[in-house]
Amino acid sequence: MSMALKQVFNKDRTFRPKRKFEPGTQRFELHKKAQASLNAGLDLKQAVQLPHGEDLNDWVAVHVVDFFNRINLIYGTISDSCTDQTCPVMSGGPKYEYRWQDELKYKRPTALSAPKYMSLLMDWIEVQINNENIFPTNVGTPFPKTFMQVAKKILSRLFRVFVHVYIHHFDRVSQMGAEAHVNTCYKHFYYFVTEFNLTDHKELEPLKEMTSRMCH
């Protein structure tokens, strides 16, 4: 990692505080297990597989929070070059445009600038992962029936951050010496969502060519 990049990542330029796992909880232990696999240099394709005897919902919850923290940080590093002027539409090249919709202010899909979309997205995800009724933190509290549906929606929307960063801001990523870091994070994310079928194939379409070079 280059010195410039180290400084950026050490500043922890996330938009909001990281969601952390409470020590002593099963989720904290799973998080440590996932990190240990990565730190041991385990093949990413193997690292995402569900450990024997573990609950899939817990494994997905741990990764959703982790990917949120990491992708939020990646976007934070290029956010100074992603403005209403440079990116008036949240897109992934000329063929893909992403519109924002939520249950609150934007009841219909609405075209927004990329930074506005990103800000609403990160706020929305933060609300979901801090909601005890969706992401229960107490061991023994069951996950709701809708958990996987919410997790899929979060991961699909986080994938769009990668699409925008790769297609519109990769020169900035390279300039900062962050290319290897972003590529590793992307591969980890891609292997995870495809291992558990957590994202529709049409969502993966914009980065299909790059992915086939990088991950196959």
Asked if 203 and 93 count as a contact pair (C-beta separation under 8 A), the reply is: no
Q: Measured between alpha carbons, how far is 144 from 125 in angstroms, rounded to an integer?
A: 17
CA distances from 185 to 74, 129, 147, 191, 210 (A): 9, 20, 24, 10, 14
pLDDT of residue 1: 38
Q: Is the pLDDT confidence value at 141 over 60? A: yes
Instruction: Give burial (CB, 10 Å; 0-12/13-18/19+) of 210.
Output: middle
Q: Is the pLDDT confidence value at 20 over 80? A: no
- Mean pLDDT score, 159-176: 95
Helices (H), ranges, the chain: 3-10, 26-39, 44-47, 56-78, 114-129, 147-168, 170-175, 179-195, 201-204, 208-215
Query: Is the model more confident about 83 or about 5?
Result: 83
pLDDT of residue 30: 62
pLDDT of residue 215: 85
pLDDT of residue 42: 63
Closest alpha carbon to 160 in 126, 132, 189, 131: 189
Read off the pLDDT of residues 34-82 as tens digits, 9 standing for 90 and up.
665 555 556 888 889 998 888 999 999 999 999 999 999 999 999 999 9
Neighbouring CB atoms inside 10 A of 21's CB total: 18
Q: Is 87 annotated as a binding residue?
A: yes
Q: Is the pLDDT confidence value at 152 over 60? A: yes
pLDDT of residue 10: 39
pLDDT of residue 8: 38
Read off the pLDDT of residues 115-137 as tens digits, 9 standing for 90 and up.
999 999 999 999 999 999 999 88
Q: Measured between alpha carbons, how far is 119 from 183 in angstroms, rounded to an integer?
A: 23
Token code pair at residue 63: 């990764």
Asked if 208 and 215 count as a contact pair (C-beta separation under 8 A), the reply is: no
Q: Among 3-7, 42-46, 133-137, 142-146, name the most confident range.
A: 142-146
Listed as own residue / partner, the contacts of 19-23 with beta carbons closer than 8 Å and 24 or more positions apart are 19/65, 19/68, 19/69, 19/126, 19/129, 19/130, 21/62, 21/65, 22/137
Q: Among 87-91, 104-108, 128-132, name the most confident range.
A: 87-91
Q: Is 185 annotated as a binding residue?
A: no
Q: Is 215 annotated as a binding residue?
A: no
pLDDT of residue 4: 38
pLDDT of residue 37: 54
Q: Measured between alpha carbons, how far is 44 from 42 in angstroms, rounded to an integer?
A: 6
